[in-house]
Amino acid sequence: MVLPPNVPDNLDVLYDIQNYLEFNDTIKSYKLQDDKLENFKLDELVISNSKLKNVSFISSELPKVYFSNVIFENCDFSSVNFEKSTLKRVKFINCKFSGTIFTSTYFENVMFNDCLMFGTLFDYSNFISIDFSSCNMKESLLSNIIIKKCDFNNCNLANANFTDTSLNGVDLRSCDISGIITYAKDIKGVILTSEQSLSFIKLLGITIID
């Protein structure tokens, strides 16, 4: 079970996030809404015990962020660099991550619900209790990932790249896995429907002739 964020009900409102971050690198116990932080550069941003809604981070350079107990709703993270970040007890609802970079990131108790994640880069990350539900992850890069607990529910994983990521125990039965890229050694223990299993026949060197 993925633990949800623990966010207080009563939060102070933070206005003008960009101006605030010109003098601070930590956002704690705030509510932000209808704001922009686009083309912004900041290393090691910390956001905790907060809720952000309708905030755009497009094309920002934000490596090594630390998010803890945060809810993001309707936020746009397109082309954002979150490389080498840490996310703990974070929930993303209806957010956009097209081309977002999460390379070498640590995820623990993180939920992505109804998110657009086309071409998102997760390579060399750690998934420790993470849930993807109804997300479009087409052509995303999920290679070289260490998975301890990961659920994919009704996700579009078409042409996603899982090379060098063990899918042992991962249930993909509700997902579109057409064109998925992986190695034979990595699919041992994956959970599929009988129809989906045909996608991996070639990887196993099996030829079926009716």
In this prediction, residue 1 carries a pLDDT of 85
Averaged pLDDT in 10-residue chunks for the chain of 210 residues? 93 96 96 97 97 98 98 98 98 97 98 98 98 98 97 97 96 94 91 83 65
- In angstroms, the Cα distances linking 195 to 138, 151, 182 are 19, 20, 17
In this prediction, residue 21 carries a pLDDT of 96
Domains of the chain: 12-204 (2.160.20.80)
Q: How far apart are CA 179 and CA 157, in angstroms?
A: 8
In this prediction, residue 201 carries a pLDDT of 73
